[in-house]
């Protein structure tokens, strides 16, 4: 004897099979597949762009620290202006070493110095040195393919500048 209702359930299953539909027990793993697709096409790009933004922030902080340390080095060492400029860039390059290692020899990371006098420095009888550090994101992006994405926000290399007043009496 069959239990009451069992014939009705089997009839429904036969009707589904006859129409080409599959019973529910044959549909497994769909939620897992949907989750995997959402992760790959939704979350992964978001995580990668967030990583790139964090790396840009770290590069900006490194450039700022390098420019400040370079300006301090120019101020500290009592030497000729040419030697001060060289010392400033040497210290700045040391501070942004990870950017040099990352970019290789593409010239994406640069250091420039400029001696300012008079009104360019803010006071009439003073001499200053401006140290500018620069990372060209277009030349070496942190993630391949993000150069065009961030070009509209950056538009130019990531730059930091520091100015220090020089004491030329020493």
Residue 57 forms part of a structural domain: yes
Residue 150 forms part of a structural domain: yes
147 and 141 Cβ atoms separated by less than 8 Å: yes
What was the pLDDT predicted at 164?
Answer: 86
What was the pLDDT predicted at 82?
Answer: 78
Residue 31 forms part of a structural domain: yes
Residue 2 forms part of a structural domain: no
Q: Count Cβ atoms below 10 Å from residue 63 Cβ, excluding itself.
A: 26
What was the pLDDT predicted at 30?
Answer: 81
What was the pLDDT predicted at 109?
Answer: 84
Residue 66 forms part of a structural domain: yes
pTM of the predicted model as reported, rounded to 2 decimal places: 0.69
Q: Which domain holds residue 56?
A: 7-166
Residue 21 forms part of a structural domain: yes
Of all helices (H) and strands (E), which one includes residue 30?
helix 30-38
Q: How many domains does the chain have?
A: 1
Residue 70 forms part of a structural domain: yes
What was the pLDDT predicted at 4?
Answer: 57
Structure tokens at 133: 């550090």
Residues of the chain below pLDDT 70: 1-27, 77-79, 81, 105-106, 120, 124, 152-154, 168-170
Nearest to 56 by CA among 160, 145, 156, 141: 141
Nearest to 150 by CA among 59, 37, 42: 59
pLDDT tens for each residue of 112-157: 888 887 776 777 677 888 899 998 887 787 777 777 777 766 678 8
161 and 68 Cβ atoms separated by less than 8 Å: no
What was the pLDDT predicted at 141?
Answer: 79
Residue 1 forms part of a structural domain: no
């Amino acid at each position: 004897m069959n239990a009451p209702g069992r014939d009705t359930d089997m009839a429904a299953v036969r009707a589904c099979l006859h129409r080409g539909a599959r019973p529910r027990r044959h549909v497994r793993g769909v939620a897992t597949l949907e989750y995997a697709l959402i992760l790959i096409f939704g979350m992964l790009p978001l995580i990668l762009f967030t990583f790139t933004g964090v790396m840009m922030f770290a590069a900006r902080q490194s450039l700022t620290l390098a420019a400040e340390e370079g300006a301090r080095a120019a101020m500290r060492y009592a030497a000729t202006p040419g030697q001060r400029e060289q010392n400033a860039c040497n210290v700045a390059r040391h501070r942004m070493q990870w950017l040099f290692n990352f970019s290789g020899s593409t010239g994406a990371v640069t250091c420039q110095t400029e001696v300012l006098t008079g009104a360019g420095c803010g006071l009439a009888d003073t001499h200053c040195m401006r140290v500018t550090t620069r990372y060209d994101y277009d030349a070496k992006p942190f993630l391949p393919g993000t150069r065009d994405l961030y070009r509209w926000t950056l538009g130019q290399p990531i730059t930091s500048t520091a100015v220090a007043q020089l004491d030329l009496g020493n």
